[in-house]
Structure 1
Amino acid sequence: MYSSIKEGVLYMNYSNYKADMVSDINECLNELGTQPVLFIGSGLSKRYFDAPNWIELLEQLQKECPFIPHEVGYYLQDGASLEEIGSEFTDFYRKWAWENKEKFPNELFDASVSKSGYIKFMIASILDSITPESVSDVQSEHYRTEIKLLQEIQPHAIITTNYDMFIDNIFTDYQPIIGQKILKPDTMSIGEIFKIHGSTSEYMDLVFNEEDYELFLQKKKYLSAKLLTFFAEHPLVFIGYSANDKNIQRILSDIDEIISSDGDLIPNIYFLEYNKNLTENDVPSREKVLFINNKEVRIKYIESENFDWVFEAFSANKAWDNVHPKLLRALLARTYKLVRSDIPRRSVEVDFDIIEKAVSDEQSLPKLYGVAMLDDPSQLNLQYPYNLTQIGQQLGYSNWHSANRLIETLYGNEGINIKETDNKYHILIKTGKMEMHKYSRHAVELLEKVDKGEEYTIEL
């Protein structure tokens, strides 16, 4: 048995650990007031329909092509990376294809087509042949239930390095954005599946061999910048990855540079890992420390024998029923086009008096979009206008983490947590299952004094 200690409390069993992690997840959701972003790897596809991992995929590709002289282990013994093996296999597949043209589409033999087209066509064929077309096609009843709980999260967006179409098939209201298209300015970042290593639906653009990865790494910084708001403003959940995955480590290193400081725990990133051997007497660690580029990166860690309770926890503050990501994305897309091109080019008739009135009045703008307000929140919004991210910005920081640390410092100094009650600094707003913490100008003034080390008084 191993145990975990949090704030002086000893957790003696796995049930206590789960309750503690659920509480932590709920607190993160409440603080940010945003939907989670899911980062999904091949482990989830392996879990639900036994899809191959990278080494297993290379082994299948080797068996399909009689021109490849050795098994994958032979190349690994020589110290070749998986990308380098992919490049070796790419050349063998091209030679095989040109001597067996009937096995491949005719268009792949055009001189303008990349030589990697043949092996990527085979990758797509292998994965498409085993990928379930819907949740009902998953064989395990338990997994079908688990997937429905995953859907209930209603994530803000999904990022995946998977090639297969499984995520597309279970989040059917989400728009796939494949490969380098993520860098285009018209992506809305909501209700989208960012397939950053490509998709079998457009197999020529798969990131597979050494040349593909070199190109991907050249543009990785642009990708990280594009997804910066995800990392700073949403709970981020890694599912189906190994902590040793170097692609994930590179991304986490970028996130750590942006968000964390001095090796602090990144408070809104969770790494979910499956462990079938867990018992009621076990209490896993609540954090994982990764050593990347000679630097510690600390993230929250969830170890579980099944994912049901984890997905339920992340769906606790899900968006309202019948609000579809497709609708939200369409609304944002049309607004973006209106502002970016239609109005500047005068291709539409615009009544600027109506627009000016709408954007200056918090009640009029939702009505402009056809959204009805549940009640009159004007007085509440005047008294508590800030979320925690905005508090941080008022104090000169770029995100919510620094403001949250100041609240924790205040609690450590005075034994008072201003978030625990409704008071002059803070209020908890509940709408159905949604909860949101809002803060007043008094909170900004108090935390500014804490930040500067000045004297202060607390008036609850």
Structure 2
Amino acid sequence: MAEISCLFKLAESNEYPMIFIGSGISKRYLQNYPSWLDLLEEFWNIVEPEEGFFETLNKINYDLKQQNNYEDECDLEYDTNIAISTLIEKKYTKKFFNSEITINDFSAKDAYFTKISPFKQALSNRFSEYEIKPEMQEEIDLFREVLNKSQIVLTTNYDKLIEDIFVEGDEALNPQIFIGQKGLFKQTTDWGEIFKIHGCVTDPESIIISEEDYKQFDNNSVLISAKIISLLLNSPIVFLGYSLTDRNIRNIIKDFSNSLSASEKEIMKDRIILVNRKEGENNLIEYKTTENGLECTYTVIETDNYASIYKELLSINQGVYPSEVRKFQSLIRELIVDRGKKGSLKSALISPQQIDELGERINDENLVVALGDSTLIFKLPDLPTYMEEFLYGGGKIHTDIALKFVATTQGSNARIPLFKFLKDVELDQTSLNTSEKEKIRSRIEKFGDIQDSINVITRYRKIKFDSLAEILEQSYKESKEMDVISYNIESLEIAEIEKYLFRKFEVYREQGNVTYSTAFRRLTSLLDIKKYK
């Protein structure tokens, strides 16, 4: 009998995984994305154009081999790359301060006052701009859904691909982002979070590239291991974009395995999964591997068919996204801790059952725990219900509840129709509290102008048309089609746009969608402004 695949087991256990993402993912989806060696050669040719990169690399490699007893060739290659990175940083910095090299939007004065390494600033600039491979878009769409269903994401990549992919989905699901190892010291929810442990382009000084950077990183690696160990008790981990020889991964697996008993290691072999790209391989070749140096057995899947892996992971469904769990977990933590300290927890936490009875019931039935002020309990709608009320009306949602829903559940950057519920309403006369009213006013200020919303549409989607019919004839992909409609909204008929959105919403309802794309949110918001403001 064939062994059940590890991905099938994950789906059966219905556990959201952690995802650990390496440079192989960015290289898979982005145009001209460099490998580590390609990057080093690129910058070496800037600082030493007359001296061969590989000649220098070989000298460093030889010297390290003479000075150290390397049992693993991977470790020698890793240390060689770090050594030449350090050399490049020194040379780059010297040339920058001698005005032999310039960096866009970064001067010697900036370097002096910010204390940012010129080399790290240059790296930040290098990875800040990228271009997605068009042929990978469908797979990227699946990847986005996997990210949305990941308990947490850890990455050693500098670029913002992961964060940007989240934003292209539903803005309300945006994760919390921690840069560097600082986030590992913080108390977090461990749901819907991204840890960028090697730094990020948004914070150049956080980038880990030199010997000193890696030394500090290695000294604190126990923090990463501790984070993973605590989460692996309840969640599997999937490595994407790494190779079997990557020292980062080997060290993490080794640190983790050292903390396990023999029986725990047996359980974990299906919960530690490394996806290893095998060019051209359409099947999922799965096997277990045990290495004495790592003292741990884990699962390897060799394939070039990442779409199949993503689809398997997407069959995991706990009913809510991890980011939604994080949002409500934070609210509950704030309620318990802050209100509890003030001695007012009794009036803030309301449940149909005594708290000590919940533990007995939670494994046997679905429970609804109501949170509210004093004894006033009301039911907020979910997003599909809210959007249905906006599009079709019917008076199912009271105006105050609709506004409270927007103020308390929608992120400050998430677009959502609002003005319909404000029409003929005096905000100060509603039951919203002061904070909620201020959030509504801020949203009106931020999203209340049609032109401002049109200006942020991606440049290549700003295409002029005279009618909705002409746009639909182009057969664009849905998100592009909606953005093109948004761009032309001032010249299109409201009734036609409404009919278009009715059709789309019916499809979403049949599919059971509970979240909506940025393009759909933008279009409904623009319709809202045009019709009701």
TM-score between the two structures when normalised by the length of structure 2: 0.57
1:87 aligned partner, one-letter code: T
Q: Does 1:34 align with 2:15?
A: yes
Separation in 2, partners of 1:149, 1:353: 39
Pairwise CA RMSD? 3.1
Separation in 2, partners of 1:279, 1:109: 49
Runs of 5+ consecutive residues of structure 2 not aligned to the other structure:
65-79, 168-173, 373-378, 382-510, 513-533
Give the equivalent residue in structure 2 for 1:169: 164
Give the equivalent residue in structure 2 for 1:52: 34
**Deviation at residue 65 of structure 1 after TM alignment:** 2.8
Quick check: which one's helix share is greater?
2
Separation in 1, partners of 2:151, 2:349: 33
**Deviation at residue 189 of structure 1 after TM alignment:** 1.3
TM-score between the two structures when normalised by the length of structure 1: 0.66
Quick check: which one's strand share is greater?
1
Give the equivalent residue in structure 2 for 1:113: 115
Please say if residues 21 and 153 of structure 2, whose CA atoms lie closer than 8 Å, have aligned partners that are also in contact.
yes
**Deviation at residue 319 of structure 1 after TM alignment:** 4.1
Give the equivalent residue in structure 1 for 2:476: none
**Deviation at residue 353 of structure 1 after TM alignment:** 7.5
**Deviation at residue 331 of structure 1 after TM alignment:** 1.8
Specify the SS of the correspondent of 2:258.
helix
Separation in 1, partners of 2:144, 2:194: 13
Residues 161/267 of structure 1: CA separation in 2 closer, same or farther (3 Å cut): same
Give the equivalent residue in structure 2 for 1:239: 240
Please say if residues 358 and 368 of structure 1, whose CA atoms lie closer than 8 Å, have aligned partners that are also in contact.
no
2:98 aligned partner, one-letter code: E
Specify the SS of the correspondent of 1:164.
coil
Q: Does 1:278 align with 2:275?
A: no
1:202-227 CA distances to partner (integer Å, 9 max, x unpaired)? 11111111101111111111222123
1:343-364 CA distances to partner (integer Å, 9 max, x unpaired)? 32x2967527847934643466
Q: 1:334 aligns with which of 324, 331, 348?
A: 331
1:408-446 CA distances to partner (integer Å, 9 max, x unpaired)? xxxxxxxxxxxxxxxxxxxxxxxx99xxxxxxxxxxxxx
Give the equivalent residue in structure 1 for 2:186: 185
Give the equivalent residue in structure 2 for 1:248: 249
1:27-74 CA distances to partner (integer Å, 9 max, x unpaired)? 23323x321111110001101114212111111111233488441552
Greater Rg over alpha carbons, structure = 2
**Deviation at residue 255 of structure 1 after TM alignment:** 1.9
Give the equivalent residue in structure 2 for 1:301: 300
Q: 2:53 aligns with which of 66, 71, 76?
A: 71
Separation in 2, partners of 1:198, 1:273: 24
Please say if residues 60 and 83 of structure 2, whose CA atoms lie closer than 8 Å, have aligned partners that are also in contact.
no
1:195 aligned partner, one-letter code: K
Give the equivalent residue in structure 2 for 1:98: 97
Specify the SS of the correspondent of 2:315.
coil
Separation in 1, partners of 2:367, 2:159: 44
2:154 aligned partner, one-letter code: I
Residues 29/279 of structure 1: CA separation in 2 closer, same or farther (3 Å cut): closer
Please say if residues 231 and 255 of structure 1, whose CA atoms lie closer than 8 Å, have aligned partners that are also in contact.
no
Residues 364/233 of structure 1: CA separation in 2 closer, same or farther (3 Å cut): closer
1:123-169 CA distances to partner (integer Å, 9 max, x unpaired)? 11111122x4xxxx5421xx211122222232111111111101111
Specify the SS of the correspondent of 2:159.
coil
Separation in 2, partners of 1:297, 1:61: 38
2:8 aligned partner, one-letter code: N
Separation in 1, partners of 2:229, 2:255: 9
Separation in 2, partners of 1:68, 1:234: 51
Q: After superposing the two structures, state which structure 1 stretch, 349-358 or 44-53, moved more.
A: 349-358
Runs of 5+ consecutive residues of structure 1 not aligned to the other structure:
1-6, 10-19, 373-431, 434-460
Give the equivalent residue in structure 2 for 1:88: 87
Q: Does 1:257 align with 2:258?
A: yes
2:347 aligned partner, one-letter code: D
Give the equivalent residue in structure 2 for 1:123: 123
Please say if residues 62 and 68 of structure 1, whose CA atoms lie closer than 8 Å, have aligned partners that are also in contact.
no
1:310 aligned partner, one-letter code: I
Residues 68/248 of structure 1: CA separation in 2 closer, same or farther (3 Å cut): farther
2:279 aligned partner, one-letter code: K
Please say if residues 93 and 119 of structure 2, whose CA atoms lie closer than 8 Å, have aligned partners that are also in contact.
yes
Specify the SS of the correspondent of 1:286.
strand
Q: Which has the higher contact order (CA 8 A, sep 6+)?
A: 1
Specify the SS of the correspondent of 1:244.
coil
Separation in 1, partners of 2:275, 2:112: 44
1:312-363 CA distances to partner (integer Å, 9 max, x unpaired)? 111111343xx4544322222233334444532x296752784793464346
Separation in 1, partners of 2:261, 2:7: 19
